[in-house]
Amino acid sequence: IIDSKKIATVQADNAADLLKRTINLDIIEYPGASSAVGMRGFAPSAHNRNYTLVLIDGKPAGTTNLTSIPTDFIERIEVVKGPYSVLYGSDAMGGVINIITRRPGNTRAGNVSISAGNFGQTNFNGYASGGVSNKVSLSLGFSRKAQDKDYHIGKKNLLSLSETEKLILDKESYGDIMEHTQYQISQFMGKMNIELNNSWSADLSGIFVTSDDIQTPGNYWHSYGMKKKDFDRTNAMLDIRRATLDNTLLISPYYSIYNESNYDNTDQGEFISSKEAVKQYGLKLTDTHAWGDFQLVGGLDFDALNVSSERFSEKGSPANPLRPDHSSLASSIFAQGAYTREKLFINAGIRYNYTRFTLEADELLGNDKKSTGYSNINPSIGFKYFFTPILNIHASAGNAFYVPDAYKTAGRYQVGSKQYRGNEKLKAETSTSFDVGMNLSNNRWLNIDLTYFHAFYTNRIVNDNQIDEATDEAYVTYANADKGRMNGLEIMFSSDITKALGSQYGLELYANFTHMFNNKFKTKDDAGATIEKDAINVRRNTGNFGIVFDSNNGFVTRLNARYIGKRLEAAWMGSPPAS
């Protein structure tokens, strides 16, 4: 959990910055407000769908681009690692990130913050919250972040680099200006809580984020052009809750839309090169009932997704989009029980999900309209046992799934000299994972957790090199690999020795580290023989280390370091963009 105190001590403009500076996740960020996250061996993906599910206040965020989620009104972030399809459905193979925003309180309060920094950075945010009446509370917030000048590249690198690495970075880039790196992002948020009576309450919230001229330089040499983009994101959510002593009923409709427009510059002037709208909406019904030591959660989910996109080769000239317009409708029923008795905690659950995935016809891509149904049953089980008040063991196992996206099923596009084509016969990916660990925790000053995790992967979607028999052209498509496996070790450590010594001050040391032992899958080579390959775009090691000083009288400061290890990548340097 990243709580409000951690958020206050971390310099982070958006959720991607905040996560990478506090948790050992595999996060990558691209110029132009774009990011992706992966965990436990599942690679980060820059597409709108991902192997890690991103939620805002427990509802689908509408985007996996964490850079589009400013931090100003975030109360805390909960990160859960492992397969959570039982509670959340598809896209939760690696884990879940739940971003929880500020909730209005009855006490009237507010704050205004103004800051400025190098490269023309200016930040402004204002927030007000309080009770309107005995039964109604309201909060409103606004923030704006901007960088009005291009940033400078550092003159030195603290880490040693080989000559090849120095050539890749270009020695002339050190200390130079990275042109075309300015941006502006604004956010509006409103929340209302209504206490209808002793049992019934309602929470209504709306979030609107908009950007203006986020410049994208590409690489240092601008060989992909100097582009820019605009995006806006809207989230509307309603929670109707009935709570009694032993039962809670929650009815939650939600709606989100994410629009993005990308611009190119040519001799003929600036024009929109592509634009896309991602719309999500649905209804979630959850009922939680407790009988003494036993608790049962049951629910129904209805989730709809609609994606439409356009692409242009020049102003007013349509080109084939990266992927066809598509939609999906998922219906799920799930149940999970939990039993607690003295030193033992056990939970088990199961979900049935049916997803109808529809690709719309597209003349430019050459595909017809097609619908495919995916049906999945996902069980899970977990337990924790306390040998002593400070020592426990924990373990869990579960199954998760991922429905193929439209890029891989029907997309057709070109990157540099490589041509990509979708494969309409792809199957849904599935994984079966388990983890086992030990935790030593003295709530006063020490916490150590060691967890080993292992996942068995079926139908992993991988790149497949093919030759077009009609034109004799090489292209890349996608195929389901036979089987895969990945395993690793997570270490979490934190200690505040000053508490053990009875000091009034806090001085916490912390370290989190993830190491992947294996991440391999079996597939076919060009001759049809079965071979084993390493997964690409997954870091073998990630780590987060730091020290926090807390005066317990209003002053908190943090020094944090992040480590990201090597990863296997495709050799893009050999495929320059077409001139």
DSSP state of 470: T
Q: What is the pLDDT of residues 313-328, one digit of tens each?
A: 888 788 888 788 889 9
Q: How far is CA 49 from CA 136, 158, 255, in A?
A: 37, 35, 17
Choose the weakest-confidence range: 156-165, 347-356, 499-508. 156-165
| CB contact set of 197 (below 8 Å; sequence gap of 6+) | none
**Statement: the pTM of the whole predicted model exceeds 0.85:** yes
Amino acid identity of residue 308, one-letter, is S
Is-contact 433 397, C-beta < 8 A? yes
Is-contact 506 550, C-beta < 8 A? yes
CA distance 363 to 94: 36
Q: What is the pLDDT of residues 412-465, one digit of tens each?
A: 776 666 778 888 888 888 889 999 999 999 877 899 999 999 999 888 888 788
430 membership: H or E segment, kind and range: strand 429-442
Q: Which residue has the tokens 């459905």?
A: 89
- pLDDT band per the 50, 70, 90 thresholds, residue 521: confident
Residue length, the chain? 579
- pLDDT band per the 50, 70, 90 thresholds, residue 144: very high
Which pair of tokens denotes residue 226?
């100097």
Say yes or no to pLDDT of 208 above 90. yes
- pLDDT band per the 50, 70, 90 thresholds, residue 577: very low
Outline where 159-279 has alpha helix (H). Answer: 163-169
Is the backbone of residue 120 left (phi > 0), alpha (psi -120 to 50) or beta?
left
| CB contact set of 164 (below 8 Å; sequence gap of 6+) | none
Q: Which residue has the tokens 């990157």?
A: 415
Q: What is the pLDDT of residues 482-505, one digit of tens each?
A: 888 999 999 999 999 888 888 889
Is-contact 401 429, C-beta < 8 A? yes
Is-contact 369 381, C-beta < 8 A? no
Q: Which residue has the tokens 């300015």?
A: 182
CA atoms within 13 A on the CB side of 169: 17
β-pairing verdict for 52-56 and 95-101: parallel
Is-contact 188 182, C-beta < 8 A? no
Q: Which residue has the tokens 């291009």?
A: 150
